[in-house]
Chains A and B, each alone.
Chain A
Amino acid sequence: MKNTLLIQELVVKELFFREDSEEILQDINISLNRGRSLSLLGPSGCGKTTLLRIIAGLEKPYSGEILFRGKEMRGVAPHLRNFGMMFQDFALFPHRNVSENISFGLEMKRVARKEISSRVSEMLELVNLERQATRDICELSGGERQRVALARTLAPSPDLIMLDEPLGALDRRLRERLLSDLCTILRKSRLTTIWVTHDQSEAFAASDLVCVMNSGKVEQIDSPENLYHNPANRTVADFLGFQNIIDGKKIGEKGGMILIMPDAATPVSEDGLSLSHVEEFSDGFSDIITGIVMDSSFQGAIRRISIKTSMQNIFRGAESEQTLFFDIQGHTPIPEVGSPIFLKINPAGIKILNGVES
């Protein structure tokens, strides 16, 4: 984050939410600066949509505070908060056409008619739907609907914009294309944004900060880069799609987890290997992994290999076998499937995860 003037826009403090005595959200603490975007990332049912709805005012928290520009929002009805929300299946009004949908929020604000029409055409232009202005909602394609929903949300110039799985209702190909469009438009608008998603790449692409949630708790809040390079615990690492997570013991500690980044390995040839090359980490494992190549698949710039290795290689004393996955630079020669392989691990690619799970 740059050293610009940072104004705290939204603060969520010690927020709890219960439904039928079931804890849906526990001790949520988030703060978001003006103009920044935050993603709530987590598996379905983790409470991210509930959190969004609480911020919007559509649900009441059990306890805790939500401050917006320093003002407690608890007693403010949703329609008075001046927040914008884009719903998961867009919730476009079927009895109004495209521009009538977009103008709804402006009408509610009793904006003058002239101003409404100019703002609506501005919005239509922004989302590139000028020609569909008088279309019925049911005549629109999925991508068009998404853009109408976005325009409708942006039209009344909300102070905070929330998007609940904005790409969730679309199919994969459309999703990838619209993701960048959506990000561009949002960046242009410079609004403070909260984005709910279960898709890691969406969260990374769309936001300055990612908040990983799991079963009602915040696991980690950080920038996408930091999150990727230093996942706080196993849940986060799992959710980010890391596969090389190994139970292990760090010397002097009770237990833990070790994560090896998939791009941390480089193959070394057998004859080039002598014992002198093998460094020992202080934590008690060597930087060379030996294993059998189980699978090798070409993926463009990289080649993904899976190897079966005995943990003895990595951890002194551990016995079990494990399959690890590595992304190898495309030009490096790889032994055939079934052959042994020696991999040198870059110490920077090894992360110790904190979560104790044994």
Chain B
Amino acid sequence: MDRADIVIFRRDNLSRADQLFKEEELSGGDNRVRLESHAALFSAQEQEEAVPTARTLHGSFRPLPAMLAITPLLFLALFYFYPLAGIFIRSFSDQSASSYLSFLKIFKSSRMAGIIWFTLWQASLSTILTLMVALPCAWVMGTFDFRGKKVIMTLATLPFVLPTIVVASAFQVLASTISDVAASSWLTDIVVGGDNIAALFLSWLVSSIQPEQSISMILLAHIFYNFSVVLRITSAFWSSMGKEMREAASMLGANGVQILFKVTLPLLRPAILASSMLVFIFCFSSFGVILILGGPSFSTIEVEIYRQAAHLFNLPVASCLSLLQILFTFGMMWVYTLLQKKRARLMPESEKISLRRALSWQARSAVVICVTLILLLCVLPVAALLISSLYYNGSISLIFYRELFLNSSGSIFYIQPGDAISNSLTFALSTLAMALVIGGAASYLIREQADRKPHSLLGKLLEPLFMLPLSTSAVTLGFGIIITLDKSPLNLRRSELLIPVVHTLVAFPFVMRALLPALRTIPSSLKEAASIMGASPFRVWLHIELPIIARALSVGALFAFTISLGEFGATLFAARPEFTTVPVTIYRFLGQPGAMNHGQAMAMSSILLLVTAAGFIFIENIRRFGHEGF
């Protein structure tokens, strides 16, 4: 292998790792938090990996007029820092009482303490359960190669990218199905055939789970959502750890058990810790799932912010809670970043992926159990949702879908579901455009900075700065925006732009994450060669850069589009009735009694599910090709 080969090889690894991380990050709705993290990892990797390419023509290319540099910074200042400052100001300077009083109120009230306790408790339990399900599967996925593995992996990742509202409705259907089954008890009869201990156990299980409005459904939904985080991070680590470490240990006299405890698990620990931290953060700031599945009896900090602000109009308390949430998430992100750095450091250097085929019967049955588990976990809720959207009065019907587009009078809503769909599409397209502009400009700004002053502090801080919106929970973002952007100097309360702005804030970091690695693969010699051959800066961009980043650009665009379609937490705050989007409409449908409302919620959720899934599968595919392209 000559030097050039090695360079290319390393690049490939870099983008492989990056791909993996990005996949974890795909998300809709309020699970956005998940993302930032990787910023940290990425910049950590960057410092080690990105040996700067020859940088001879200092600043001779300036495709980036000052305007383009200012746009993303201004955007961030106006729509991120300004609202955040609003929350701070609200928390500390209250008209009615001094701020620390409301803080005290929060901590003294037993209800609030209960909420904080519940938030921590459910997040911990969800994380432990997710680990218990995902780790064995990660071992299978990281050890064996079998036919259809890619499909299973995509399927396992799908829940992660679903909009939170879709997950919530899917689990609501699943919950009611389970209780129906329990009530009729025909399953008991079928499965275990009558009265025996197994039947008793099954009915005890169902009754103790108490599917509807109970903690078990919340936990199950969290497992469903976050399963793939642990699965992907850990199995990637597992497979790239290769067999060499284990073989080396074996040659040094370690037996199977010693290898597991002295080598494999210690090596996996950072991956397990990092992924569980991530899961913990997601569950900690879980909003839609708890709001819908938990009912009024369960409330996390995130949900309480919404209730205090939107239902009780208690803005000081909401502000304090938001501040608390911000501090919590930032703190956890910081811990996660540290863990990530350790993980990157311990990531094995040989990047060979070693997988073997499952040949023994033990290995085969492990694969079968793992695949069955993934199918059950990932397909069952989705299937329940799709079926219930097609099932009316005991027969299959499209009535719920038709109803969405019929202008039935006496609607409980200001606008029709059909209008919500067109709203959502309009917002998603505007988000796409804005996110491409902001994200693109930010990426170029970061690269320019890195090119000109590779070691300046500013250059290093730029990327984490632009990733900040990702480490802020959706609800705090939405809350900050409604309390600051509703009055002069910047009043967007009635503007059609408000929702796309909020969505862009969530989406543009994704565009950056797709775009930056691609931009970084372009060696400056390429552009220099083109310019020496007489291409103007614009033509260099058009003929050299654009074709290379085209795929990444389309991945980013698709991300922006699907994120906008599924965003729930912030939109619920910011959307005026006439600008309602699909997720908010589904939420309102779910809150109404009656089979027709419920059915329409299922139909809309199904549509959203299919659109998101299609987008995700499309992204997976272009990325896979794009990979070879770079």
Contacts and interface: CB of A to CB of B under 8 A. Distances in A.
Interface of A: 56, 58, 77-80, 82-85, 87, 89, 91-95, 104-105, 107-109, 136, 138, 152-153, 156
B399 interface: no
Given A87-B247, A91-B245, 16 more contacts: A79-B252, A84-B251, A85-B248, A87-B244, A89-B349, A89-B350, A91-B247, A91-B350, A93-B245, A93-B267, A95-B267, A95-B346, A104-B249, A104-B254, A108-B254, A152-B252
Contact of B345 (A56, A82, A94, A153): A94
Contacts of B53: none
15 contacts: A56-B251, A58-B247, A79-B253, A79-B254, A82-B253, A84-B252, A89-B244, A91-B244, A93-B245, A93-B263, A95-B266, A95-B269, A108-B249, A153-B252, A156-B252
A153 B97 CA distance: 71
Nearest to B349: A89
Contacts of B250: 58, 77-79
A247 to B, nearest CB: 33
A58 B266 CA distance: 22
Contacts of A56: 251
- Identify which of B255, B269, B346, B349 gathers the most chain A CB atoms within 10 Å of its CB: B349
Contacts of B267: 93-95
Interface in B241-276: 244-245, 247-255, 258, 262-263, 266-267, 269
A79 B345 contact: no
A94 B346 contact: yes
Interface string B170-200: 0000000000000000000000000000000
B227 to A, nearest CB: 26
Contacts of A83: 251
Contacts of A78: 247, 250-251
Nearest to A92: B248
Given A79-B253, A108-B258, A138 B244 contact: no
B345 A87 contact: no
Contacts of A91: 244-245, 247-248, 350
A180 B328 CA distance: 57
Nearest to A110: B253
Contacts of A94: 267, 345-346, 348-349
A136 B349 CA distance: 14
Interface in B210-263: 244-245, 247-255, 258, 262-263
A171 to B, nearest CB: 9
A77 B258 CA distance: 14
Nearest to A85: B251
A50 to B, nearest CB: 13
A152 B253 CA distance: 12
Nearest to B342: A95
Contacts of A107: 262
- Identify which of A77, A78, A80 gathers the most chain B CB atoms within 10 Å of its CB: A78
Nearest to A94: B346
Contacts of B245: 91, 93
B303 to A, nearest CB: 40
Given A94-B267, A108-B258, A156 B253 contact: yes
Contacts of B262: 104, 107
Nearest to A56: B251
A93 B350 CA distance: 12
Contacts of A156: 252-253
